[in-house]
A = this chain, B = another copy of it.
């Protein structure tokens, strides 16, 4: 069965911007100067004359620079197709939308699989440990290159929301509004724990080989990355949605296999998720990006969350989802309270939705009008 994929945006190509050099690189949080850095990005719509309609979309852990349209190379629809396009929440008839792959990623932006100019080989484990702030500094360079001093809005779900928050902190004069969705000011102990287990699974795979698995024909740490992905996947769903989708449904209707083969539909689903993830993601990027998530802490160096927001200038729309237990709604509530206390304009909505953390990618009925009305308000000033 051929799946016909259509998008009002048609075919979209990824573009690339490179800056810096080994001698004059970006100063990272870890203290290292790092360069050159190539950024993979896509844009939609037109930048207006005042350069005041630019919106930056930041992706989550395993996302890329392709939120909408049909990918020129592989024909894939974007990961936020429901939200980005003409007349959609991020209305491409009205706004100029930018989305780039994060530093440390594996979708075109410089990451551990990229060639280290000093050695001619992939960075692998010599890639520096980066932070969400480093990702944002790279995005700032791109945004400047595109001729934009001030963004109308920065938006993102999950780790994308952390980037939106970091933008407000690092560049308070360059962000008019932020939409941190299904996110938190820092991971909980449980969030750090899930990430750590994913990393241990990858590093325990013999094929990880200290991060060096990029030689042609060399085996990759596919088992470890699959385990990390399977684990992550459960945390993105809700118990309720898993029960609804799979329950205890068996693959073979008649009986148990009395083996360790796949008996349950949920096992089959997870195995499939692990397999397809290996085709599209690099294990080292998984290590580096999850570490950046662990490290992100909006209150770091501040006495309180309120103080953190007091040093920002943006208007905020926080959105959380009732069944999201990875980034629980109470964290968005805490942020909205703190931002209000700090004198910021704040809207906060907790959307009742059954699909757990993934709701931010799936739900548009309530999310889309909230976003478009908020953006219109800010745009009109």
Q: A-side interface residues toward B, CB under 8 Å?
A: 29-31, 128-129, 186-190, 192-194, 196-197, 199-201, 203-206, 223-224, 226-227, 230-231, 234, 237, 239, 242-243, 245-248, 256, 258-260, 263-264, 266-267, 270-271, 274, 287, 291, 294-295, 297, 325, 328
Inter-subunit contact A239/B325 (CB<8 Å): yes
Extra 16 A-B pairs, beta carbons < 8 Å, given A29-B258, A190-B242, A206-B206: A188-B242, A189-B239, A189-B242, A189-B245, A192-B248, A193-B230, A193-B267, A193-B270, A196-B267, A197-B230, A197-B231, A200-B271, A227-B227, A231-B231, A239-B328, A260-B291
Inter-subunit contact A188/B243 (CB<8 Å): yes
Inter-subunit contact B186/A200 (CB<8 Å): no
Inter-subunit contact A192/B266 (CB<8 Å): yes
**Of the residues B190, B204, B248, B325, contact of A297 by C-beta under 8 Å:** B248
Chain A, interface SS category: helix
For this chain, the copies found in one complex come to: 2
Inter-subunit contact B204/A205 (CB<8 Å): yes
Q: How far is the CA of A107 from the CA of B356 in the complex (A)?
A: 39
Inter-subunit contact A203/B248 (CB<8 Å): no
Q: How far is the CA of A230 from the CA of B190 in the complex (A)?
A: 11
- A204-B230 contact given A248-B192, A270-B193, CB 8 Å threshold: no
Inter-subunit contact B200/A230 (CB<8 Å): yes
**Max chain B Cβ within 10 angstroms of own Cβ: one of A186, A203, A205:** A205
**Max chain B Cβ within 10 angstroms of own Cβ: one of A30, A192, A205, A247:** A192
Inter-subunit contact B264/A194 (CB<8 Å): no
The interface residues of chain B lying within 8 Å CB-to-CB of A200 are: 223, 226-227, 230, 271, 274
